[in-house]
Each structure stands twice: as C-alpha cells, then as structure tokens.
Amino acid sequence: MTRITAAAVLVWLAGAQATLAQDDPDFFVVGTGAFDANDNQTAGEFDLQFRFKERFWLFKPQVGMFITSDSALYAYGGLLIDLYFGRRWVLTPSTAIGAFHQGNGKDLGSVAEFRSALELSYRFDDRSRLGLQFGHMSNAGIGDDNQGEEFLILNYAIPTDVFSR
C-alpha cells in the first residue's frame, strides 16, 4: 500500500508542477563523477546526455552514453520526469535501458543493463542546471551475474537554445 501511495504522490507532484516545465528547452548534459562509487572497483566516469523537451504524458525522453577511466562504455535511452520545487530546484528521477561494454572494469554480467537515477539540480536564470545525480545500474537478473553498481555524477545541463542565439 505504501508503494501505491508513494506513486500517487509522485504523479500528483509531477502534474502539479508541469506548468513550470512548459518553457524548458532540450538540454545537452555533460557530467563527471564516479562509476561503481560505493565498491572496490571505483572508476572515473564522463557522461554525455541529451534530454528532449517533448513530453509523453508526464515523461520526457533521454538518450546518453558514458565512458569510464577503465574503458567501460554504456549507451542508453529512457525516460525522465522533471519535478519543480519553486523556480530553482528540480528533482529528476529517470530510468533507461542500454548496452554495456565492460572494457577493463567491472563485469556487470550482461550487455543489456538497466539504469535508474535521481538528480537534484539548481536551475539558473538562463535555464541551465547544475545537479548531483545518484543512480544504480544492473541487469535485473537477466545475465549470468548481477553485481550491479552505483554512480555519483555532477551534471551541467545546457539549454540547446543557447546554441542558436
């Protein structure tokens, strides 16, 4: 019952805050941080994302990729929701599926990996955002092994309309 209540509150918050998000453009996002942040095989991570302004009900599509200092590579696509708390703070839960190549790093047990994340961002006057993202990646038990890993990333989201000025 608590999961249903939490989901209902999340949907209500997203709907209530949607009017503030109407002016958001597409975003090009760059980020850097730690892959496998809470384990013994921590590596540096560099991320690139594109977050679309188009909306499917409450959800916006995203595509992205990262590379680690251990030569791991992950490319993904998924959905996110922007939840606004006032004009400045944005909470962004997201989920995605993608293809993973371990390089010289941690074996996650499968090429197919699922990614879920939560980002808290500060929104500047030009609509760019600086955020801290924490997430988890695993194969959800479909692979031979399901070690999973956590990541912690500092992101900067650049509105794409700045490139057309």
The CATH number of the domain where 103 resides is what? 2.40.160.20
Name residue 103's amino acid: G
Rounded distance, CA 143 to CA 120, Å? Answer: 31
Give residue 146's domain range. 2-164
- Domains: count for the chain: 1
pLDDT (tens, 9 = 90+) of the chain, 165 residues, equals 556 666 666 666 655 554 445 678 999 999 999 998 888 889 999 999 999 999 988 899 999 999 999 999 999 999 999 999 888 999 999 999 999 999 998 888 889 999 999 999 999 999 999 999 999 999 888 877 778 899 999 999 999 987 666
* Global pTM value: 0.84
